[in-house]
Amino acid sequence: MLRNAPPFAELLAGCERSAVHLEMRDHYDDPDEAPRVAAWKSGYRPDPEDRSTWWRPWLDMVAETSARGVAIRRARIVSEPVSEYTRYLYDGTWCNVAAGEQVRWLPRRQANDIALPGNDFWIFDDRIVRFGYFSGEGTYLGDEVDDDPAVIKLCSSAFEAVWERATPHDNYTI
């Protein structure tokens, strides 16, 4: 049953085994991300040796969660050639990996025969799905959670199918 989602940090903190995330959009219009995107467009790249140039609260949550033994996997289905925003995400994904996420990329043309839910989602411990809703321009509109076993099964099956075909971040090139 769909219902309003608790705060994301609460869902991640309650995780014991796994958190998986499927992203299917080529652009997200996140106001918190806008300064980093603008800096990236101007040529700025964080220094991997200077953690203060790239570490942020999200990475703290990932590092703390993975340190507890929770596997965090993110799969991205992307159009190719990639959008400018996807290129930005790609250039910064090493930060996610450094914090403990496993990330894979799947070209959209390789997902034709995978049944995919209509929205991006997270699955926490195979017990709850959090759907994220976005406008056509990529503006975040909100989220809901669902604990219906059939919905969890659909999302889990979609994620695993994408994960199996996708290329690990370190091997994917744009």
What is the C-alpha separation between 23 and 122, in angstroms, rounded?
A: 9
- CA dist., res. 37 & res. 35, Å (int): 5
- Reduced to 3 states (helix: H, G, I; strand: E, B; else coil), residue 55 is coil
Q: Around 160, how many Cα atoms within 13 Å sit in the side-chain half-sphere? A: 8
Tokens of 155: 């999302």
Q: For each of the chain's 174 residues, which pLDDT tens digit applies?
A: 778 999 999 999 999 999 999 999 999 998 888 998 999 999 999 889 998 888 889 999 999 999 999 999 999 999 999 999 999 999 999 999 999 999 999 999 999 999 999 999 999 999 999 999 999 999 999 999 999 999 999 999 999 999 999 999 999 999
Q: Nearest 10 degrees: CA dihedral of 58, 82, 88, 6?
A: -20
Number of other CB atoms surrounding residue 37 within 10 Å? 17
Query: Which pLDDT value is given to residue 33?
Result: 86
Domain spans of the chain, in order of start: 3-171
Helix (H) or strand (E) holding 146: strand 140-146
Rounded-to-5 percentages of helix, strand, coil across the chain: 40, 25, 35
User: What superfamily does domain 3-171 belong to in CATH?
Assistant: Endonuclease Chain A (3.30.870.10)
- The sheet carrying 71-78 orders its strands as 3-4, 140-146, 128-134, 120-124, 18-23, 71-78, 101-107, 167-168
CA distance 17 to 67: 11
Helix (H, G, I), strand (E, B) or coil at 12: helix
Residue written as tokens 């806008």?
A: 34
Element spanning 59, H or E: helix 57-67
pLDDT at site 3 = 86
- According to the model, what pLDDT value does residue 86 have? 97
**Amino acid 54: pLDDT:** 86
